[in-house]
Structure 1
Amino acid sequence: MRFDYRLALIACVSACAPMLPEAPPVAPPAPVPASQPPREAGSATTPPPAPAQTSGVDQPGFEGWKQGFLNRKGGARRAQYEQQLANLTPDPEVIRLDGNQPEFSRPAGAYISNAASAARIAEARRRIDAVPWGVTRQYGVPAEILVAIWGNESSFGQVQGNSDVIRSLATLAFEGRRRDWAEGQLKDALDIVIDGRRERAGLLGSWAGAMGQTQFMPDNYLRLGVDQNGDGRVDIWGTDADALASAANLLAQAGWKRGQAWGYEVVLPAGFDYSLAEADGRPWSDWARRGVTLAHGGAPTAEEAAERGTILLPQGARGAAFLALPNHYVIRRYNNSASYALAIGLTADGVAGKPGLVGTWPNDGPISREQRFGAQTALARMGYDPGAIDGVIGSGTRRALRQWQIANGRIADGYLTAAIADELMRGM
């Protein structure tokens, strides 16, 4: 079957939208020095969508913001930054995309099925030899994981984004919703150009500022980029080896555990206490005593069984269930979305020839922005704290929803549907 790059362009999950960082129930062994974690269509380091704390008060307009930025971040390089920003205008498309992110509303099953499609798995299998043996040996990250990220981030380098990264980040900083984050990334992007690491014309990426075949934000490019082919440049745009080694370095620095899986699909027994999902991790022996089994039989390795695994229900009690091990959360340091990390893991499993899912996904419809905000507002007013009222259905919202479900005699799976959102809003 020929891989259709037109479909890849539509389905590509290369850093197209910022994602809210969630505190994982199982903390990776070592935190990656990353600034972001994006969401359902995010990249190796896209921004959190929470309001930023700004420094000082800028004068009105884009020029007013620009002078404020130069005052805050320019330092000894103020004149050089000012030269790069000269005649720059905000990009209205960036503002539009930042305010309209439909991937936030997509059911997990639809997202995962698309991102881990048979076509993508087949193409990733064909490209696995592009991962240098030295990369897997040095960083310990399986080649299957790396090609899964490569495919999901840029359709194997085919869809990297053609936005001016400096203009995109300046626009996001001016917009102000994530000003501190965006200004830090903008400073790093300017330094990339001024230090001669990349010409300005070639500093292209997604509308959110993620760059290259593995969609790195500027800060991670500077700190984690790898010159794998030894030509003196970190070229994540045009050199497969550099892009893949950089991704491996990010995952290794985040605490990737050599020789361990990301997790497993599991089957939950009748009467399972769904409120245990996303709670504190437990060793496999505890889950097994509760009747949890691996969907394809067998058991985790001894090392995996000793880890504190977490049950994930990305689409509630009616959908597929997973045991997430620490490497799942390492992937989420690349892009902090459970759906993204599951898609990467399942793609990698397919590349390795492992069988597909046993569970099925409910055919749930999308949830509108108004429903997401409305559900969070309703939960907060009823005394169930969802955290920030931001329209992002993260762990805080799911925890609050479980509390409401328990109080109302429902299955406490923490899964928000459009029907539940409407019911919550009617009860306000």
Structure 2
Amino acid sequence: MSKVMRFSSRLLLIGCVTACAPMIPETLPSLHAPATPVGEAPTPAPVPTPAPPPADAADQAGFEGWKQGFLSRHGGSRRAAYERELAGLTPDASVLRLDRNQPEFSRPAGAYIQNAASPARIAQARQRYDRVPWEVTQRFGVPAEILISIWGNESSFGQVQGDMDVIRSLATLAYDGRRRDWAEAQLKDALDIVIDGRRDRAGLKGSWAGAMGQTQFMPDNYLRLGVDQNGDGKVDIWGSEADALASAANLLAQAGWKRGQAWGYEVTLPSGFDYAEAEGPQHPWRFWAARGVTVARGGTPTEAEALENATILLPQGARGPAFLALPNHYVIRRYNNSVSYALAIGLTADGISGKPGLVATWPDDAPLSREQRIGTQAALTRRGYDTQGIDGVIGSNTRAALRRWQLANGRIADGYLTAEIANELMSAR
């Protein structure tokens, strides 16, 4: 029987089928799929039906052309085997729709986080706390709360793992071209999983983004970091809770998880704080304390945490809560490179350990449409504030560009995009 560690600090749980990927550039947005609230029973997965052929025959011709290029670039000695697995595929339009409307990047941070870190979800996570093998937490140093949080958030504790053909999803993303190099590399790994007999093709199911299993690993992470925790000779992140949780712990440990440290703290900023310093260079606690930053609930970071370089995050601008993000916050983002996602994981886990909620309240901002997000990026870039891509993903590069525009125009330089600012930028000539 596995021993279980006592509660310590963090967790999350919204049944969402998403991707677990290493830190990726902002041009490769989070691969989260829409969430299923944990307080509700998951909707039974529909029986998959073959997708109809594309309405435009040119689309399929283009897809076939991409496929031949993929086989030439990556097939090598396995070209015939890859070609067999790719035979008869058509691009999946639903994959592209989901890719362009990920909630971590389109919804205000507060709306996303409050949904993910609700009291009901924390209560459900607590009920599953003892499912994390004690040996896993000891071996990898990642608290059980964090692992349960990821488990719940990624698949509603294994109940909603996704029923899409991983190979078809990744082929669609590769054909789309926006993230071709990344998607082709993931597709090659997915094909190798099948060809090497690690998982049969019928069982290689996952999210629209190609993430698989109870902790939603991308194919490369499955091959590199998957752990056979139950010792049955295979890494089964679909059917084995132990394998899935140990694999997630291994990913975080390899990404640099710091044992015994928190992910961060809610902080209070003083009047006159220079918001342009947020999301900028990292500094130890003494730097921020000298500028009047205090921990919102009192106290200070631990001695070890105080020596770490940390960043001030303003996920919903100067009007919303502020956070001191320690190194473990960025490790969580190896799972999903989204501030909202990492904060949701950490705050839910804090709730598991009995910590009180936030002091500050989230502004009730409207979500941004894709047109507003893309229009803002185009407008900023046109004005000389390069967002490093126009893809509708409001990540760190876009926020930095917006902050520069705000500074130049006498605004509070918090780097936060509201619908009002988006409309102003899009309408100005």
TM-score range, shorter chain: 0.7 to 0.9
CA shift at 1:115, angstroms? 1.2
Partner of 2:18: 15
8 Å CA contact retained: 1:264, 1:294: yes
**Partner of residue 286, structure 1:** 287
Q: Deviations over 1:227-276 (max 9, x none)?
A: 00000010111110100000000000000011110000111111111111
Q: Is the 8 A contact 1:20 1:392 kept in 2?
A: no
Secondary structure at 1:153 match in 2: helix
CA drift at 1:39: 5.2
Deviations 1:112-150 (A, max 9, x none): 111112122111111111111111101000000100111
Matched to 2:307, the amino acid is A
Query: 1-side partners of 2:71 and 2:86: how far apart?
Result: 10
Deviates more, 1:256-265 or 1:173-182: 173-182
- Residue type of the alignment partner of 2:90: T
Q: How far apart are residue 60 of structure 1 and its match?
A: 3.8
Q: Indicate the larger mover: 279-288 or 107-116.
A: 279-288
> Partners of 2:63 and 2:386 in 1: how far apart?
37
Alignment correspondent of 2:394 = 393
The letter for the 1-side match of 2:107 is R
1:84-107 CA distances to partner (integer Å, 9 max, x unpaired)? 222223223223333444553200
Residues 103 and 251 (structure 1), Cα distance of their counterparts in 2 relative to 1, 3 Å cut: closer
User: Quick check: 1:255 aligned with 2:237?
Assistant: no
Change (3 A) 1:224 1:17: closer
Consecutive unaligned residues in structure 1, runs of 5 or more:
1-7, 24-34, 44-57
Contact 2:110 2:362 in 1 (8 A): yes
Bigger shift: residues 71-80 or 216-225: 71-80
Give the match for residue 347 of structure 2: 346
The residue aligned with 1:31 is none
Contact 2:30 2:104 in 1 (8 A): no
Distance change >3 Å, CA 354–CA 166, structure 1 → 2:
same
Matched with 1:305 is 306
Query: How many angstroms apart in 1 are the aligned matches of 2:198 and 2:222?
Result: 10
Structure 2 counterpart SS, 1:71: helix
Q: Which moved more, 1:93-102 or 1:112-121?
A: 93-102
Shift of 1:20: 9.2
In the superposition, relative to structure 1, how do residues 264 and 99 fare at CA in structure 2: closer, same or farther (>3 Å)? Answer: closer
Unaligned runs of 5+ in 2: 1-11, 36-58
| Aligned pairs for 1:255-274 within 5 A | 255-274=256-275
In 2, are the aligned partners of 1:39 and 1:104 still within 8 Å (CA)? no
Partner of 2:82: 81
Following TM superposition, by how much is the alpha carbon of 1:386 offset from its aligned partner in structure 2, in angstroms?
Answer: 2.1
Amino acid at match of 1:288: A
In structure 2, relative to structure 1, the CA distance for the partners of 1:361 and 1:157 (3 Å cut) is same
The answer for the alignment partner of 2:212 in structure 1 is 211
How far apart, in 2, do the equivalents of 1:17 and 1:130 lie? 20
Partner residue, 2:30: 38
Q: Which residue of 1 aligns with 2:160?
A: 159
1:17-416 aligned at under 5 Å gives the runs: 21=24, 38=30, 41=33, 60-101=61-102, 103-416=104-417
Deviation by residue 1:316-346 (Cα, 9 ceiling, x = unmatched): 0110110000000001111100000000000
- TM-aligned CA deviation for residue 301 of structure 1: 0.5
TM-aligned CA deviation for residue 300 of structure 1 = 0.5
Aligned with 1:236: secondary structure? coil
- Pick which of 268-277 and 386-395 moved more: 386-395
Percent identity (aligned) = 75
How big is the shift at 1:426?
Answer: 2.1
Distance 1:410 1:172 in 2: 38
240-249 or 408-417: which moved more? 408-417
TM-score (norm 2): 0.87
Shift of 1:59: 10
Per-residue CA deviation, residues 48-83 of structure 1 (Å, 9 max, x unaligned), is xxxxxxxxxx99433322222222211111121122
Answer whether contact 1:315 1:361 (CA < 8 A) is retained. Answer: yes
Using the TM superposition, give the Cα deviation of residue 298 of structure 1 relative to its aligned residue in structure 2, in angstroms.
Answer: 0.7
The whole-number CA distance in structure 2 between the counterparts of 1:331 and 1:389 is 25
Q: What displacement does 1:356 show?
A: 0.9
**Gap change, CA 1:331 and 1:360, over 3 Å in 2:** same
How does the TM-score come out when normalised to structure 1? 0.87
**Paired letter, 1:229:** N
d(CA) in 2 for partners of 1:148, 1:318: 27
Give the count of matched residue pairs. Answer: 395
Note the C-alpha offset of 1:111.
Answer: 0.5
Distance 2:377 2:63 in 1: 33
Q: For the residues of structure 2 that align with 1:21 and 1:82, how far apart are their CA atoms?
A: 28
Q: Partner of 2:333: helix, strand, or coil? A: helix
1:84 aligned partner, one-letter code: E
2:334 alignment partner, SS class: helix
Check conservation: 1:17, 1:208, Cα contact below 8 A. no
Contact 1:378-1:425 within 8 A present in 2 as well: yes
C-alpha deviation, 1:13, in angstroms: 3.4
How far did residue 389 of structure 1 move?
1.9
Shift of 1:37: 6.3
Select between 99-108 and 136-145 the one with higher mean Cα deviation.
99-108
Structure 1 contact 37–332 (Cα < 8 Å) conserved? no
Deviations 1:352-389 (A, max 9, x none): 11111111000000111111122122222222222212
